[in-house]
Amino acid sequence: MSAPDAIVIGAGHNGLVAANILAEAGWDVLVCEEQSVAGGAVATAEVIAPAFRTDLFSAFYPLAAASPVIRRLDLAAHGLRWSRAPAVLTHLLPDGRSATLWQDPAQTAASLATFHLSDGDAWLRLTAQWERIGDRLIDALLSPFPPIRSAAGLARQLGMGELLRFARMAAQPVRRFGEETFRGVGGPILFAGNALHADLPPDGAGSALYGWLLMMLGHSVGFPVPVGGADSLVKALIRRAESHGAQIRTGAQVASVQVNGGRATGVTLQSGDHVTARRAVLADVAAPSLFEDLVGREHLPVRFVEDLANFQWDAPTLKVNWVLDRQIPWTDADARSAGTVHLGVDMDGLTDYAADLSTRRIPTRPFVLLGQMTTADPTRSPAGTESAWAYTHLPRGLRLKSRQLDAHVERIEARIEAHAPGFRATVRARHVQAPADLQAYDRNLVDGAINGGTAQLHQQLVFRPVPGLGGAATPIDRLYLAGSSAHPGGGVHGACGSNAAHAALRRDAFGGGAKQLIRADLMRRIYR
């Protein structure tokens, strides 16, 4: 393909979603991926032992299963099958109690009622509200900002008073939301732990919305995993894109984006090859890298470059993968059924952990997110064994030495051992991914950031990646930000890639030139 219509830089799931949409619309699409394998932070390998499949990054996909973007691609027709653990998520409290999210609302209600009798009903009220507004809300969250149509539908559905109350809930810190909604500690800790799947601390504004969203998705679609490994999702995306004629070239690092007269016209590869793009360049690339390294400041408004200097990364991640001789011997029965297990801290402990991350102290009591992959999908390792991982975050800006990382791995394992005596004896082998290892595999995961930049309120919506129009368009005509640095941010939902692809299609459609003039004028006002 000498001059494709579109070049997509990066074959993360967002790049592949964009390629699917453009190829389906009849465009010639070339995807350039620098690694030897496509998928970015959706990857599986037998890194520890044969027949033990390890998801190297993301593993549970409630956002993908609920995303209208991914649903519309009908990946089942291209080989994707989902599998689920019996229980969605268990949070193990330091005092030995546990709270468990099940897809069956009555089971979750029963778990929360062990903390306070009224908390089961509180959960049932939340799930009933979700049944009314869930679909519209997902649409609103994953569309380009502002999501006028779905927000209007939501307003009609809820009425003014309920809409205002819902907006207030969404803006709350998740700790406050927990206090207002539940009387016991089980409900609040489940919501707060979910908010920390993004980097949203219990006392941070807006953390209630993210915690609430993941809890509701856990209830409605579970935390599913692709049968065989996370890479089954990527393989399905590739098969579908190729069936529409897209080309995916691995081992092709893009070194720069060519800009002529304020318009993106193609890319230059690290090999020195130039490829011209006739209609658009879409970048599944972290915002700072796209604009500073690939485009170059000289092509950007000064004010935009200044805003980009304030771009905030999310916290680095330390991940440990294990091959286990048998299931983790949790003393808590629910934890033995859960795909995801949270442990290490209670609500105050979560706040302490978040404070440690902010104040650059290595948390002595880390919050641990653990995945039991064979429990979620029996194909991940031989019967009776477990392929498991856990991760926790570290403060940004500390360059930890290997002995400090080892000590932290030891802290993680000690926390698990406390809830599962005999855990260490089940470990046949371990594999550690330090922040630098995550970045070495996927340069978007800068210092082990998992979200393409903080998900806190000041960098969401029209503030993502910098104050602007909240869409995929950039100050360069026909260049679109298609990765998780763009609204709506991290997670495997495909919305960033979809928004970019649709923006490129609209730009090229009848009337696209006039709209571009209006957009360029707005950008000039924002960045002058």
Ligand X SMILES: Cc1cc2nc3c(=O)[nH]c(=O)nc-3n(C[C@H](O)[C@H](O)[C@H](O)COP(=O)(O)OP(=O)(O)OC[C@H]3O[C@@H](n4cnc5c(N)ncnc54)[C@H](O)[C@@H]3O)c2cc1C
Interface with ligand X (CB under 6 A): 9-15, 32-35, 40-42, 57-61, 63, 253-254, 284-285, 317, 319, 391, 438, 442-445, 450-452, 483-484, 490-492, 496
Alpha helices in 372-489, H assignment, sequence order: 373-376, 402-419, 423-426, 435-441
Give which of 391, 389, 393, 342 is closest to 363, Cα–Cα: 393
Identity of the residue, 93 or 482, whose beta carbon is nearer to ligand X in the bound complex: 482
Distance CA 110, CA 113 (A): 5
Name the residue nearer to ligand X (CB basis): 143 or 172.
143
Closest-by-Cβ residue to ligand X is 12
How far is the C-alpha of 261 from the C-alpha of 221, rounded, in Å? 47
As measured in angstroms, the least distance from the Cβ of 148 to ligand X is 25
CB of 15 to ligand X, least distance (A): 6
Q: Is 301 helix (H, G, I), strand (E, B) or coil?
A: coil
- Between 59 and 189, name the residue whose CB sits nearer to ligand X: 59
According to DSSP, the β-strands at 225-226 and 274-276 are unpaired
- Name the burial class of residue 391, with classes exposed (0-12), middle (13-18) and buried (19+) by CB atoms within 10 angstroms of its CB: buried
Token digits of residue 145:
């900002």
Tokens found for residue 149:
């149509």
* Nearest CA among 250, 246, 273 for reference residue 35: 250
- C-beta of 34 vs 352, nearer to ligand X: 34
Pick the closer one to ligand X by CB: 99 or 481: 481
Minimum CB separation of residue 7 from ligand X in Å reads 10
Nearer to ligand X, 172 or 392 (CB): 392
Say if residues 332 and 90 touch (Cβ distance below 8 Å).
yes
In the complex, minimum distance from the CB of residue 79 to ligand X, in angstroms, rounded to a whole number: 19
Which one, 58 or 100, has the nearer CB to ligand X? Answer: 58
Q: CB neighbours of 3 closer than 8 A, spacing ≥ 6? A: 266, 275, 276, 277, 278
Q: To the nearest whole angstrom, how small is the minimum distance from the Cβ of residue 379 to ligand X?
A: 18
Q: Are the beta carbons of 273 and 32 closer than 8 angstroms?
A: no
Supply the minimum distance, in Å, between the C-beta of residue 273 and ligand X: 13
- Rounded to a whole number of angstroms, the minimum distance from the CB of residue 90 to ligand X is 16
Shorter beta-carbon distance to ligand X: residue 58 or 372: 58
- Give the residue among 65, 73, 64, 71 at the shortest CA–CA distance from 23: 73
Q: Which residue, 405 or 445, is less far from ligand X as judged by CB?
A: 445
In the complex, minimum distance from the CB of residue 495 to ligand X, in angstroms, rounded to a whole number: 10
**CB of 490 vs ligand X, minimal distance in Å:** 4
Q: Of 231 and 356, which CB lies nearer to ligand X in the complex structure?
A: 231
CB of residue 111 to ligand X, shortest distance in Å:
22
| DSSP state string for 441-471 | H-TTSGGG-SSSS--SGGGSGGGSSSSS-SS
> Omega into 301 within 30° of 0, i.e. cis?
no
Question: In this structure, are residues 77 and 66 in contact, taking their beta carbons and an 8 Å threshold?
Answer: no
